[in-house]
């Protein structure tokens, strides 16, 4: 399990996961906050990951599971919760819109080619100021990072002790990890976040 701290099971902290693989997107349309479902393969792989995590954290079980209110987040949180049987059935899954993926606004559902046609130069503008550029009606990475950190504060206020699991999204998790690792947001995209990525954030 790739972690920020490998001795995770004996400490308080946050287990940060990215959701599983989604249904095919062959045209590579921007997803953002579109409510896309897991694929059958993504569900199966996340079930296997849940079992692995349940074994790894058998002596220090999570106190709660947090996710966005998007279906892919809720599904993955419930998969992991059920893996911690029998106690998992009594632990809450808390869906909070603050844990959603970045809002790409008018770009959501479009291909890069369509974005360039409708908003000429927008992709280049984003590339030149990755942290601060926001698509029309959407969020910049800086805006997302503020939202993500506030969501973690709410999670810790709800469950102040022990380990909590957070099932997040690619950009969401990169913003959390960039803050945790004291990296500038301009480097956030260098943080690997494949489907099912797992990181342990030691309590500070």
Which amino acids are annotated catalytic?
Answer: 19, 101
Which pLDDT score, from 0 to 100, does residue 89 have? 61
Return the domain boundaries, the chain: 8-202
Model confidence band, residue 87 (pLDDT cutoffs 50, 70, 90)? low
Beta strand 64-67 with 198-202 is unpaired
Look over the chain and give the mean of its residue pLDDT values, rounded to a whole number. Answer: 92
Binding site annotation covers 28? Answer: no
**Does the pLDDT value for residue 2 go beyond 70?**
no
**Does the pLDDT value for residue 44 go beyond 50?**
yes
Binding site annotation covers 114? Answer: no
Percentage of residues of the chain with pLDDT beyond 70: 93
pLDDT digits (tens, 9 = 90+) for 88-105: 567 889 999 999 999 999
**Does the pLDDT value for residue 7 go beyond 70?**
no
105 Rama sector, left if φ>0, alpha if ψ -120 to 50, beta otherwise: left
Burial class (CB in 10 A: 0-12, 13-18, 19+), 141: buried
Rounded average pLDDT over 73-82: 96
Alpha carbon 18 to chain centroid distance? 4
Question: CA-CA distance, 188 to 3, in Å (whole number)?
Answer: 16
Q: Cβ atoms within 10 A of the Cβ of 197, count?
A: 20
Binding site annotation covers 17? Answer: no
pLDDT digits (tens, 9 = 90+) for 115-169: 999 999 999 999 999 899 999 999 999 999 999 999 999 999 999 989 999 999 9
Question: CA-CA distance, 171 to 33, in Å (whole number)?
Answer: 11
Instruction: Locate 35 and state its tokens.
Output: 């409510």
pLDDT digits (tens, 9 = 90+) for 185-200: 999 999 999 999 999 9
Binding site annotation covers 23? Answer: yes
Provide the strand spans (E) within the chain: 13-18, 64-67, 93-95, 163-168, 198-202
Which pLDDT score, from 0 to 100, does residue 11 have? 60
**Does the pLDDT value for residue 49 go beyond 50?**
yes
Which pLDDT score, from 0 to 100, does residue 85 have? 80
The CATH number of 8-202 is 3.40.50.1240
Alpha carbon 133 to chain centroid distance? 20
pLDDT digits (tens, 9 = 90+) for 167-188: 999 999 999 999 999 999 999 9
């Amino acid at each position: 399990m790739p972690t920020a701290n490998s001795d995770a099971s004996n400490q308080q902290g946050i287990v940060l996961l990215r959701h599983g693989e989604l249904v095919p997107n062959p045209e590579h349309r921007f997803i953002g906050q579109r409510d896309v479902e897991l694929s059958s393969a993504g569900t199966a792989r996340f079930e296997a990951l849940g079992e692995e995590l349940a074994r790894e954290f058998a002596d220090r079980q999570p106190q709660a599971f947090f996710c966005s209110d998007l279906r892919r987040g809720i599904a993955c949180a419930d998969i992991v919760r059920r893996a911690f049987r029998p106690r998992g059935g009594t632990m809450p899954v808390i869906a909070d819109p603050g844990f959603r993926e970045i809002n790409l606004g008018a770009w959501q559902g479009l291909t890069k080619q369509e974005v360039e046609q409708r908003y000429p130069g927008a992709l280049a503008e984003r590339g030149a100021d990755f942290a601060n550029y926001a698509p029309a009606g959407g969020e910049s990475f800086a805006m997302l990072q503020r939202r993500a950190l506030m969501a973690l504060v709410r999670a810790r206020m709800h469950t102040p002790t022990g380990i909590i699991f957070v099932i997040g999204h690619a950009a969401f998790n990169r913003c959390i990890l960039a803050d945790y690792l004291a990296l500038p947001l301009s480097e956030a995209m260098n943080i690997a976040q494949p489907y099912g990525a797992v990181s342990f954030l030691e309590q500070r």
